[in-house]
Each structure stands twice: as structure tokens, then as C-alpha cells.
Chain A
């Protein structure tokens, strides 16, 4: 068991998510998940397709709100915040890495990385400096002016990781980050995550691949909307 910092970044209690509420086809995707992830952890959330892990990711990433339950992010209850406040959390506290990279088209790598900083209201010079610094970390300095369509898949994902770190978030949330990449470039991307983890970042990796999950410190397996196994020790005591 690696050394744990006791400060919880994510602290979920009894998270339930239902769709089509009040309609005949009402659907419950998450059945009361409780989960605690501490600062500095590198966690993999694994599950079959349809297990509810994407819904889980949406809630963790403040993209969606739980129907029931309590979600403390850095100690702050965000389970029923307004859209505006959620967008602030996403902007400052969470860095997203998507399977399909999701870089803004026709916009240079540097400008893509600057985007979260722009929404955070940072000045032009500060943004450019930070973007170049982040490009350095992912080894993409010389591609700063390239548009996404001029980059390979691996390069795009490296830019996306740099973008995720733009506002120094408390959490990096990666959804199948190597899913669209070949093994070799996938390796490069994973190495970057390890590097970031070593530098103290909290990373949640959502994947269906057991191989990738094994590289992390802790594997949380979700099936049919419930946590079926958790190799780590940070399970909420209240559960």
C-alpha cells in the first residue's frame, strides 16, 4: 500500500443516478455508490460497457449532478450546485482528458491549452507562458503552432493532457485516454500520466482495460451501478 495523504479530493456518499425520472422507463444507473479518493492517488475505475462507469465519470467530473447522495469535492458539497458554479469547479479543479482528444479544431495546440486559462480570466502573457511550459512537460514545444489536424493521435492526446493541467487542477480525469491510440503511442501517454502522478497529481483513469488498470495504485471495479471491488483502502467508512 503506497503512502496516502489523508486529504480527500473526492468523497462520495450514497450516489444514485436515475434517468427518465417519473416516467415508465425510469432507469437507475448508479445504485448508491460511496467512494473516497485522496490527494495524490492514481486510481483506475474499471467496468464493462454499460456498467455505469461513464455516468460515474460525469458525476466525478462535475459534468452532471447525482439524483441522490452527497458529493464532497475538496470538502465542498457540489451535489446540488448551479450550472454556473459547476462550470467554475470544472474550470479550476478538474482537468479532462477524453478518448477522442476533443481539441478545438482549427485552433493551434497552444491556443487549445490556453482555453481553460482564458475562461479562468488569465492574461494573455501569463497564458502563453504557461502553455509553453505545459507543452514542454508533454514534449510538444515544437508543435505549439500546429492545428489539431496536423497532429497525430498520440500528439493530440499529449496536447489534451497539457490542456487538462492548464489551471493546475486538483484532479485529472481521464476517460479511456489510450482508447483511440495504438499500443506504442498509448504507452507514451501512460508514461506521461505516471510522470504527473510522481509529481503529486491526483489522477482518476476510467478504462475497460485490466492491463492499464494494473499500472495504477488502486482499482475500483464497477458493475451494474455498484462498486464490486476496491483494491485500495479509502472506502468510505460510512458505507
Chain B
């Protein structure tokens, strides 16, 4: 008797009592669909977070900083935020950085203090014309890095940072708020920078502000906080800011082996700091992304494991019904044996039935799980858009979870079908025929 005939026979038997079959599969349906749903949520969440982070930066990034070498320098005192004081003589020098830029020009492009924003405040021209801004330390590389679109004038150049020029690039929103229809290029503005520091700068360019998140909720353009870019050298001099020398930031390109790049960069700088008790640490953005996805994966795994327990319960349900079915069909088993069915073929018959129940359950579970995920994603996007937040949910179909579910249900079908099938196979034909 071929396996196909067992399947046809099992199908006939299961469809003879549709309601019971469906109820039997219920446990497996719930189990599989929740595994799929949670897996999809986890994957999509991870993907969404990754996308948000990637959209904030145009590429991968490496932070190069000086940290204490714990082995040779165990006495460094940390403040409550984990910060520490680095002696005056332990600094990145421009020689070091130039040498690094030269050697690693293929792999890394210096970004310099990107996103190092300082205090915010208001630029005030008159009572009516003012704008809320945050001063941002900039180098010429920032324009490409953040993909800044210039509407008028130019961005900060290398000469500006080299010469500490007092210039600034403002957003179109600031331009409109402060100068209305007037051309802002060449105008003088006073930029507040907290701590009573003010920067006197000439406007050299206007960039297009890209609307993001909460800014959309602000009706008054003058209240929208936008960046004003100032050459970092000038800004740091005015602020008496020294930590510039401890921290460098690079945009990495053409790097396939980030671990190798990391090691090479560390050893490059460490050669300067040998024996000082300080060393250089390179932190990659991918490391942070990896960590986030590790956390999400960990949480997802735990919840999936909990959902898988319901699969186990479903499997026990299948076994229960199969046992009832074997008892109910004792006479049939006896007849089949009298007609020449071997113990083996009776066993196969019942295992095929329980595997089919499990497969049916997992099939329905996958469909329901995918529909649930889709609905949830739609609801999430709708809620987000109602709150003016542009959420893009990457609904990844969890093929691995589907494959795993199918395999798992197969195992359940066999695992929980073996005992009832064995009971059926071992029945004495004489007793089975006499059973009432």
C-alpha cells in the first residue's frame, strides 16, 4: 500500500468528521499563528528601528575615542555618568589625524563632530522676526554626510574651518522667520549658544530643512527648532571647548570587513599612545545596530518560546483525539487486520492521520498568523500617521518561522501520533473484532 493511498484514506477519514478535525487542529492553529505573529512583529520592529537609524545617517560610522587602558591604568576615576578626565598630554594631534586620513582615505572619510549640537535659543531680529535654532558644529564634510540640500549660497568650506571664519548656514525656515522675503545672504546674525555665549556670524548659505517628526505639529514656523551650522573650529574656540581633541568621527565607506577596519584603526592610533595608560577605542555604528537587533531577537525568541508551548498543548490535543479515535475504531482496526492489514500498515495509517491533522493546523495557523501580522501592521501605520509620525513598517514574511512551524507540526504529528498508532497496531485482532 503506497503512502499516497494512506493519505487518501486518512483524508476520507478526517473529512468524515470535519468539525472534530477542525477543533482538534485549533490548538495547533493558535500555536503556529502566534509564533508567526510574534516573529513577524519582532522582525519588523528590528527592521523598522534599523531603517530609522540608517535614515538618520547616510552610512556606517565609526567613533574613535580615547579611553583608559584598564590593565595598565586601573586608577582612573569615573564620574556618575561614566565620564573621566583625560590628561592634557593625551590628545589626538592634527599630525596623527592627518596621517590617519592619508592612510585610510580609501576606507574612511572624516566627519568631524557631526551632530555635536550645543545649546539652543532664539535668533532675534525684531519682535516679529525671530527663529528657534540649535548651533551645530560643522565641517565641510557634513554637507555630503547629512545630504544637506543648499537652496542659496554655499556650505561651510575647509578654508572656513582652517581660518576660524565667523560664518553660518541657516535653514530656509530660519531665513523666512528672520528675514521674510529679504535675501538673508550676507546678513549678520547673533546666535545664542547657552551659557551666555553668543556667536556673531555672517549668513553664507541657506539649506532646505527636511521636515521630521514632531516639527510637523508646530504651527508657528518661528517655533520650529532648526540647526544653524557654524565652523567647528570657531565654535569650539568661543566655547573654550577642549574635548575636540579626544574624539573623532568617521564615515566609513568601501569597508566590507568592519572588524578588520576596526582593529587596524585601533592599532594605528594606539601606536601613538603606547605606555601612557590610555588607548584608542573604535566603536562602530553596526555594533550598536547589532546590539539592538540582538536585544529584539532575544525578546522575540522568549515570546516565541512561550507561544511554542501552546503548540505543545495543541499536540497533546491531537494525541487525545487520536486515542479516542483508536478506541472508537477498534472494530474497524480488527476488520482491517482480518482483511490482511499488518501491524505496520495500521500504525502508518494512524500516524498519517495525526500528521495530516497537524499539517492542516499549521497551514491554517500560517495563514491566520500572516493575516494577523498584516492587520497589525496596518493598524500601527494608521495610528502613527494619525499622530503625524511617518512610520514605515517593513512587514517581512518570516519564511524561517514558517518552515520551522511546518517542521515542528510534523514532529508533533509524529511524536503525539506514535502512541495512539502503536496502541492501534498492537491490538489483538481477535479482541478487536469482538469489541463492542
Contacts and interface: CB of A to CB of B under 8 A. Distances in A.
Contacts of B335: 98, 102-104
Contact of A87 (B5, B13, B332, B341): B341
A3 B343 CA distance: 40
B12 A107 contact: yes
A107 B5 CA distance: 14
A176 interface: no
B331 A119 contact: no
B340 A119 contact: yes
In this complex, which of B335, B336, B343 has the most chain A Cβ atoms within 10 angstroms of its Cβ? B335
B338 A119 contact: no
Contact of A58 (B13, B340, B430): B430
Interface string B4-18: 010000001100100
B68 to A, nearest CB: 77
Contacts of B334: 102
Nearest to B432: A63
Contacts of B13: 106
B56 interface: no
Interface stretch (A29-37, A43-51, A89-97, A224-232): A89-97
Given A87-B341, A91-B340, A63 B1 contact: no
B342 A106 contact: no
Interface in A43-99: 58, 61, 63-64, 83-84, 87-88, 90-92, 96, 98
A119 B345 contact: yes
Interface string A156-169: 00000001000100
Contacts of A105: 332
B16 A106 contact: yes
B386 interface: no
B12 to A, nearest CB: 7
B339 interface: yes
B429 interface: yes
Given A84-B343, A102-B331, A90 B1 contact: no
In this complex, which of B1, B336, B339, B429 has the most chain A Cβ atoms within 10 angstroms of its Cβ? B339
A7 B338 CA distance: 25
Contact of B339 (A58, A83, A84, A163): A163
Interface string A108-135: 0000000110111100000000000000
B342 A118 contact: no
B5 A118 contact: yes
A58 B16 CA distance: 32
Contact of A119 (B1, B12, B343, B433): B1
Contacts of A91: 339-341
A83 B342 contact: yes
A121 B430 contact: no
Contacts of B341: 87, 91, 119
B340 A90 contact: yes
A211 to B, nearest CB: 26
A80 to B, nearest CB: 16
B433 A102 contact: yes
B331 A84 contact: no
Interface residues of B, number: 22
Interface residues of A, number: 27
B337 interface: yes
B340 A83 contact: no
A96 B337 CA distance: 11
Given A104-B336, A106-B12, A83 B343 contact: yes
Contacts of B16: 106
A24 to B, nearest CB: 22
B38 to A, nearest CB: 39
In this complex, which of A61, A88, A90, A92 has the most chain B Cβ atoms within 10 angstroms of its Cβ? A90
Nearest to A169: B340
A103 B345 CA distance: 18
B332 A63 contact: no
Contacts of A107: 12
A90 B334 CA distance: 12
A71 to B, nearest CB: 15
B342 A98 contact: no
Contacts of B430: 58, 63-64
Contact of A63 (B336, B338, B342): B338
A163 B1 CA distance: 17
A217 B343 CA distance: 37
A99 B429 CA distance: 16
Interface string B347-360: 00000000000000
Contacts of B343: 83-84, 87
A167 B340 CA distance: 10
Contacts of A102: 331, 334-335, 338, 433
Contact of B340 (A64, A88, A103): A88
A63 B5 contact: no
Contacts of A84: 342-344
Contacts of A103: 335
Interface in B132-153: none
Interface of A: 58, 61, 63-64, 83-84, 87-88, 90-92, 96, 98, 102-107, 115-116, 118-121, 163, 167
Interface of B: 1, 5, 12-13, 16, 331-332, 334-345, 429-430, 433
Given A84-B343, A88-B342, A104-B332, 6 more contacts: A63-B429, A84-B342, A98-B433, A102-B334, A104-B336, A119-B336
| Minimum-distance CB pairs A-B, first 9 | A91-B340, A119-B340, A106-B16, A116-B339, A87-B342, A102-B335, A90-B340, A96-B338, A63-B429
